[in-house]
Structure 1
Amino acid sequence: MNERYSRQVLFPGIGKEGQDKISRKHVLMIGAGALGSGNAEVLTRAGIGRLTIVDRDYVEASNLQRQQLYTEEDVIEKLPKAAAAQKRLKAINSDVEVKAVIGDATPPMLEDLVKDVDVIIDATDNFETRMAINDVSQKYSIPWIYGACVGSYGMSFSIIPGKTPCLNCLLRTIPMQGLTCDTGGIISPAVQMVISHQSAEALKMLVEDWDAVRTSFVSFDLWRNQYTSLKMGKAKFAGCLSCGEERTYPYLDSENMTKTTVLCGRDTVQIRPSTQGELSLEKLAGQLSTLGYTVKGNPYLLSVEMGSERMVIFNDGRALIHGTKDLTHAKSIYQRILG
């Protein structure tokens, strides 16, 4: 047994057998922001076999207050979070196979990625993606761990297909927080608390100690010294379209996914083209430069500026329009630059 895991092996809940299981397991991390980077580091240090990280964004200065894998250099280089996380995680534990996926976690992508995944961890900032995760979890019988935080408040719930209610069931019972980090801010201790709940649940699942997995919905407010744990067994709904008797997995239908999204925490709109294709960033940079745009880039993206407008373009045609929450205005900028 590798000496680096000796203290973890001494823990009775894991032991040598559990560590062997952890080293063979594959975790899919959806999101590489505050929750994603923290969970990814915990599991990488724990010695998981494989980690796939999906994220659509890049590192900005406002991330550094709570997103623990990133540095000021990542901000300067505007590295995609998934790529920056992969680089840092490989430096932490070179035995772990880390795959970075730079893009939006759409239903087709999720269905492609989960084929050999053991656990999914939710580290997203929007319910549209969470509902798609929930449906793909139910369709392929893969457990996943919900987590969210804003301000000093956080929550987490472990979802095991066939045993616990799914997120779609929960929404009939529990009103979810309406605030975002844009409107309510966020403090790092709340992030760390959710990470602790999620990563602990992930380790239980990875060692296959299913009796230890928490089946209650946990929420807390660190500033107000509140902690709640709700039993959710009765929330399971037989008519649920995601996990019920006549399930249809409605959130895996791409037609139900919006093509424009206002990103959490910033005046930024993401625009995703209706058809996927690969852009030549080098060619595009040359074209935009001749039109008078200020263009900077790296192998993953282009940052395009003209006056007060700024757009970041990824090689799959996806773009982030900064400085606006107006979807119509954002689309007009996108169409003006990319056609």
Structure 2
Amino acid sequence: MSITRFVRPAALLAAGSLLLTGCGGDSGTADAKPAAVTLKNCGHTVRVDAPPKRAVSLNQGTTEIMLSLGLADRMAGTATWTDPVMKGLAKANAEVPRISDNNPSFERVLEDEPDFAAASFVSTLGKGGVATREQFEKLGVPTYVSPSDCVGKDNSGDGDGVRDTPLAIDDVYGEVRDLAKVFGVAERGERLVASLEKRVATATQGVHASDVTLLYWFANSESPYMAGCCGAPGVITRSLGAKNVFDDTHDEWPQINWETVADRNPDVLVIGDLTRRLKTAETAEKKIEFLESNPATRNMDAVKHKRYVILSGQAMNPTIRTVEGVEQVAAGLREFGLVR
């Protein structure tokens, strides 16, 4: 299959990762002697009496923040991966044991004797996930969940949650600052946030895409998960002044039939390229193969003109790699001549 007009994240990701590694790659010691830290986090009060020495990160998003902050030597394990680790972090990541590619059992996590547990999603530290926060805390292990997955979001349903308030990139930066504070490296957190802000400003400079429509496809070919208005894809879309064809739903990742997708007929398809094997059509290659052969989608404008922007799964989640998503979609719009 010949694919001539798509944008992969390799070049810009490498450049961005150098900035992140520079922020997080200083000494493993704390910036200053820290005091106990207390945070309000997703309805919980988190108290950490001393910087963690054996933290476990149970989602890739939190893992990459910790690695970017130079905390590999204070991590006892990681879990739940959708993609290869961010470029520039491979060496640090190799120093940290991987507990599991997916959700590990609570018992397996406890084997590593953690003194802190962090996750990107409420579901990871909830019923049906690795364990509840209360289960960890009863054993004296403080827990933390990314505020990006709880602020302005209802996770009580069966799906991926519903947002009544659009996610802001500042929510992601808040997680960086919180984790930096917990580990006693607040200055590193500020440097990392500054580098991310600079990347967003550079990527969006001169981009005016108010006439451009986008669709974000994360996974699954039978009942595809498409981005609603207000999660990480919403951050990307708003930063470029574009429009998401499914911005009329506040569901995080609603499952939408292909006839409806074809009827919305977006200008550009933003496609998740996942390495996990939980759903159908996880890789970008499989997704594109499906789009170009399915009768309902092969005549869509974006498919006929091969206007594909390929993103890592993490860039489509509320993580520091959402910045990578801004960079790559902006580059794609320029590549396709859609930026005024």
State the TM-score, normalized to the length of structure 2. Answer: 0.36
State the TM-score, normalized to the length of structure 1. Answer: 0.36
| Greater RCO (CA < 8 Å, at least 6 residues apart) | 2
Higher strand share: 1
